Copies of this chain bind each other. A is one copy, B any other.
Amino acid sequence: MASATTPKKATAAAMQQSSHSDMSEQPYFPDEPARPIVRTQIPGPESKKAIAALDKVFDTRSLNMMANYQNSFGNYIADLDGNVLLDVYAQIASIPVGYSNPSLLLAATSPDMASAIINRPALGNFPQHDWAHILETGVLKVAPKGMDQVFTAQAGSDANELAYKAAFMWRRRQERGGPDVAFTEQEMTSSMNNQGPGAPDMSIMSFKSGFHGRLFASLSTTRSKPIHKLDIPAFDWPQAPFPALKYPLEQHVEENAAEEKRCLEEAEKIMTTFHSPVAAIVIEPVQSEGGDNHASPAFFKGLREITRKHNILMIVDEVQTGVGATGKFWAHEHWNMQDPPDMVTFSKKAQTAGYYFGNPELRPNKPYRQFNTWMGDPARALLFRAIIQEIERLDLVRNTAETGEYLYNGLASLSERYPQEIQNLRGKGQGTFIAWDSPRRDEVLRKAKGVGINIGGSGERAVRLRPMLIFQKKHADLFLEGMEKVFQS
């Protein structure tokens, strides 16, 4: 209990914060706890018992904290021992508008939702009568610029892989000379033997430190850590360097520009010389699992130009960056590109998944080429619609932009006082999508629990912040105060 925040202490701390946070801000989640409660070490005795029981049937070695979600509200996650933590990790960036959100609860208890749960359709064969309406008032209402169609999926990994499939089919269609050119007998026969030309030797180019999922093709584009890839057969696909920017950005302008130029040149070289033709590139607006690596809009625009020049598709993986946390609904909006990407994939905070596209040529030339039994889940599409409505009702993208700026400034000032603890602070102007490097990262994450804060890491030494969209200045104050306690310990 040494580092526990007792209610009394927390009240005093909250009063102190009133000097710098905006006390006039309207709470988005009036019923959430006022502050964290830390009653025991984490895991406490009840959690330990439950974890041991779970381990008998389900691998718990990656378990971070066992939670009671019925007791979790807003930005706060509860465990089994009475601990309630301010959650800036949010289920690996996948809770959008707070635990036990009342608006989502209404959607989750609607007759439409009940039917969607118990009558799950095979959407490609037997879509429900209101599927177009659900898409148009939900998933497609927030479609990125230039995109008016969607192929729905189940999670980020398969969303990316389905986009890769669309890219390969598009590329071969170009090579064949159009949608009406028939498959040859040789293509049909060889495809059944997993050989070319039917199963062609083509590739997706990804970027060093990128993360795009952990199924076989998505894992072949993932370049995060060996532990994610070891022992799994992979496609021989290429990777380009991702810019290694130096911070603070304003002190390394020329150096960073040169680094991005170098990476663009190398990317173009690979695209044009790799032994297996590159059908598409896939890239995250901010490399998230790989350590929160950023690049400038100029870099991404450069990639768009190069891909256009060489007739290669550009897939933007917004699985982690999408749905509002960066101060834009889609992070790639920050690039202000006139020529949009070809496909944008999403999952996590959308609570459903898929890929957006606009070019009708990305619909394969025949039915059943891009197909599977469920092709998504209407229940999750209904939930995404409710999430979008909640984001609009509370103007949450504006909130992440504003709270993000406030949080970033607070961290910048903390980093001046604790320069060893907060290195390479990044994410300025990117909403709450903020991270820094820490020489004792895992210790920081562990100690944060002791002061009532749940944080995640990424890459080798990044502390990454992934608060929900309802994270406000008062939460930022609690967070900054907690971090300072950790740094002082």
Contact = CB atoms under 8 A, between A and B. Distances in A.
Given A99-B118, A172-B230, 4 more contacts: A69-B119, A70-B111, A108-B114, A156-B373
Given A77-B126, A113-B117, A122-B91, A371 B57 contact: no
14 contacts: A68-B128, A72-B119, A80-B129, A94-B374, A169-B232, A188-B230, A191-B231, A194-B229, A194-B234, A195-B234, A200-B231, A201-B233, A217-B217, A227-B366
B368 A62 contact: yes
A127 B67 CA distance: 6
Interface residues of A, number: 123
Interface of A: 50, 53-54, 56-70, 72, 77, 80, 91-92, 94-95, 99-101, 104-105, 108-109, 111, 113-129, 131-132, 135-136, 140, 148-152, 154-158, 161, 164-165, 168-169, 171-173, 183, 187-189, 191-195, 198-203, 213-217, 220, 223, 226-237, 239, 347-348, 351, 363, 366-374, 379, 383
B127 A194 contact: no
Contact of A183 (B100, B189, B226): B226
Given A105-B118, A119-B100, A126-B64, A363 B59 contact: yes
A109 to B, nearest CB: 5
A158 B156 contact: no
A230 B373 contact: no
Contact of A215 (B158, B183, B230): B158
A460 to B, nearest CB: 13
A471 B192 CA distance: 36
B215 A369 contact: no
A44 to B, nearest CB: 12
Given A199-B233, A233-B200, A373-B94, A59 B127 contact: no
Contact of A379 (B203, B227, B379): B379
B121 A91 contact: yes
A371 B253 CA distance: 38
Nearest to A132: B54
Contacts of A151: 58-59
Contacts of A80: 129
A100 B217 CA distance: 37
A131 B161 contact: no
A152 B135 CA distance: 27
Contacts of A237: 194
Contact of A235 (B119, B127, B194): B194
A310 to B, nearest CB: 19
A116 B109 CA distance: 11
Given A100-B119, A198-B229, A374-B94, A124 B161 contact: no
Contact of A122 (B94, B128, B203, B233): B94
B109 A230 contact: no
Contacts of A125: 62-65, 91-92
Contacts of A108: 113-114, 117-118
Contacts of A114: 105, 108-109
B234 A373 contact: no
Given A91-B373, A105-B114, A234-B194, A226 B188 contact: yes
A214 B202 CA distance: 17
Given A155-B154, A155-B373, A195 B236 contact: yes
Nearest to A131: B54
B155 A226 contact: no
Contacts of A57: 132, 135-136, 140, 148-150
Give the one of A53, A136, A191, A367 with max B CB within 10 A.
A191
